[in-house]
Amino acid sequence: MIHMRWDIRTRVLLVALVPTAVLGILLTAILTVSRLGDLEDALAARGQALARQLASASEFGLFSGNRDELARLAQSTLSNADLQGVAIFGRDHELLASAGLQANQTAIRRNASGVEWVGNSIIRISAAVGNTAVSEEDPYTLTAGTANAATSRKLGEVVVLVSLEQLESRKNLHMLKALLTLLIVLAGSGALAMWLSRSVSQPIRNIARTVTDIGRGRLDVQVPVEGGGSLQQLAEGLNEMARRLKLSRDSLEMQVSQATAELRQRKEEAERANLAKSRFLAAASHDLRQPMHALGLFIEDLANKEHSGDTQQLIGRIAASAEAMENLLDSLLDISKLDAGVVTANPRPFPLGPLFERIESEYRASAEEKGLALRVVPTDLWVESDPMLFERILLNLVTNALRYTPRGAVMVTARRRGVRVLIEVRDSGIGIPEDAQESVFQEFIQLDNAARDRSKGLGLGLAIVRRLCVLLDHRLSLRSRPGRGSVFGIEAKIARPVTQLNEAVGTESNLVGLVIGIVDDDSLAMESLAGLLRAWGCYVVSGESLDALLHALADNEITPQVLISDFRLPGPRNGLEVIATLRAQFGPQLPGLLLSGDTGPDVLRQATDLGIPLLHKPVRPAKLRAAIAHVAHLVPAPGTQAR
């Protein structure tokens, strides 16, 4: 309501003025109406007195029939103020004398007797003229019998017309005086009310202003102590509260400053320690990835040659060990990339059916080896997500389900839930206790692998799943009971089917005759990479630096079709700058691949900004082959970029 927003001063003014104004208006109206009525009654009484006086004076003239005398009386009576006309009639209503009757003949000749209002400006007053015999007992009062006798001896009638013009003027003057008096009273009341409201509201407004300042943090303000009683106590109490708050704040700020300084010191120490750790890990990771990269390429090259059965079995075991190490490094790389925020999602509509078919074909053999039933329910639903990242989520969940299900089955289903799709991976495995269902999404947490059996994974799969679900804005759920299995659910936004071109991933694309330039300062890594590329039929030109590669290209008089460079190189240039220099010489469309053993986010950001695919060492041969085919435009679909 509007009045609820009025301040206290306005309310005090209203309380003081409204009753005074109402009472003043009522009293003024009552007194004015009463006074105006008195003026009208006085005018009528005066007219009656003049009429009686004229009737008494006209008695002899009517009795004697002296018209001149009657005319003189009428004219002399007209000299009185407020009279507009005078007439004297005989016994037969014959007009014997008149004065001032030019405009009022009709009013004079009316037959009414006594006092009569004619229109809005005239009062007609008549009086009978007769014998004035009175009783001897009361000379001033006619008895009833005397009155009847006088009526029977009526000599005539006098009529006077009284004008109301002066009465109206006096009425207007009186009303003006009343209005002025009312205005003076209201003005005085208003001034008094404003003074009273100021004396009451000003202290309260000061208190309100001070409270606002205190709320804004200005604790050094003080309320002027005004008035007395409760207002004085309130002002003094508020000042004391502000003083105590200021003391408390100063003490708290001092404690916070001390704690902040201590935290800042500890933070700086932690940052220095973290920086030292990061440098150590970066150096160790790079030094570890270089030989792992070369080892993987050598194993692949070695496996492509003719060997006896025992040697081939030994090569397979060596490859399995190298693959386990690569899986660990890849998982650590995925975690670091997700935490660094360098992985970007590219959501688009895609069908779940082909993804489910790939999962069934890739994992059916693994499930059969463990005696499990893998059931993938076909679906025609589409979802809005990043296809590669979403596939990584499902692959991790299916791998985890197969790993921790000793018997029974694993099922993959998709159901529509309104505007969303619920994809579930169900298993009949060991289950997860309720108090551990949150911790399984943390790094290196494995509930049933105290001995750290490598065949049961590394404890990073579910941690990657949670981070990818957060990145894609998918709701991740888990229902599980020990001994009854687990159900992992992912909710994604449903999408309408769209027309798609068939995509073929050419991991076995023909690279024969492709000219590839290599820059790597690690001779072991360069030899292993060059040997594998030559085994694929590529023509390889290599060098440990940019100048060495340029000399080799010049000696062979050949132009490279693909460039592969390590990130860390001797000299002032890194791999990205080497690729940029070679593109400036051989054309900006020259395809390039960057290899790096650094897992930090900076290298990935730089490569992403320049649009150069980055493969982290150690690189799997299949992934390397797919990447080369992609940048060389030998396959229509996007190649396999390192994850």
pLDDT digits over 254-303, tens only?
888 888 888 888 888 877 775 565 455 555 555 666 676 677 777 777 77
Co-location of 462 and 532 in the same domain: no
110 domain residue, yes or no? yes
What integer is the mean pLDDT of 85-91?
84
pTM metric for this prediction: 0.42
pLDDT at 323 over 80: no
538 domain residue, yes or no? yes
301 domain residue, yes or no? no
**Whole-angstrom distance, CA of residue 210 vs CA of residue 243:** 12
Provide the mean pLDDT of the chain: 77
Q: Exposed, middle or buried by CB within 10 Å (0-12, 13-18, 19+), for 27? A: middle
Please, which pLDDT band fits residue 601 given cuts at 50, 70 and 90?
low
Domain end call among 171, 195, 228:
171
Co-location of 7 and 153 in the same domain: yes
User: Residue 392's CB: how many other CB atoms inside 10 A?
Assistant: 17
Domain end call among 122, 153, 171:
171
Co-location of 35 and 159 in the same domain: yes
What integer is the mean pLDDT of 525-530?
86
Co-location of 28 and 145 in the same domain: yes
What integer is the mean pLDDT of 243-263?
85
Please, which pLDDT band fits residue 196 given cuts at 50, 70 and 90?
low
249 domain residue, yes or no? no
Co-location of 380 and 424 in the same domain: yes
pLDDT given for residue 300 in this prediction: 73
Co-location of 15 and 126 in the same domain: yes
pLDDT given for residue 619 in this prediction: 80
24 domain residue, yes or no? yes
Co-location of 486 and 591 in the same domain: no
Q: Bigger pLDDT: 356 or 151?
A: 356
Instruction: Kindly report each contact of residues 460-464 with a partner whose C-beta sits within 8 Å and lies 24 or more positions away, as own/partner.
Output: 460/331, 460/332, 460/334, 460/335, 461/331, 461/396, 461/397, 461/399, 461/400, 462/396, 462/400, 463/335, 464/331, 464/334, 464/335, 464/338, 464/392, 464/396
**Whole-angstrom distance, CA of residue 118 vs CA of residue 44:** 13
415 domain residue, yes or no? yes
Query: Residue 566 pairs with which residues in a beta bridge?
Result: 595
Co-location of 451 and 524 in the same domain: no
Co-location of 449 and 558 in the same domain: no
pLDDT at 307 over 70: yes
Please, which pLDDT band fits residue 499 given cuts at 50, 70 and 90?
low
Q: In terms of Cα–Cα distance, which of 247, 249, 201 is closest to 226?
A: 201
194 domain residue, yes or no? no
User: Residue 207's CB: how many other CB atoms inside 10 A?
Assistant: 19
Co-location of 423 and 351 in the same domain: yes
- Beta strand extents in 90-244 (DSSP E only): 95-99, 115-118, 122-130, 154-163
pLDDT at 182 over 70: yes
CATH number at residue 598: 3.40.50.2300
What integer is the mean pLDDT of 51-64?
84
Query: Residue 85 pairs with which residues in a beta bridge?
Result: 161
- Beta strand extents in 461-559 (DSSP E only): 475-481, 485-495, 515-519, 539-543
Q: Please give the tally of structural domains in the chain.
A: 3
52 domain residue, yes or no? yes
Co-location of 48 and 155 in the same domain: yes
CATH number at residue 407: 3.30.565.10
Q: Which domain holds residue 615?
A: 515-631
Co-location of 48 and 130 in the same domain: yes
Does residue 142 sit in helix, strand or coil? coil
Percent above pLDDT 70 for the chain: 75
What integer is the mean pLDDT of 557-565?
91
CATH number at residue 33: 3.30.450.20
Greatest Cα-to-Cα distance within the chain, rounded to the nearest angstrom: 179
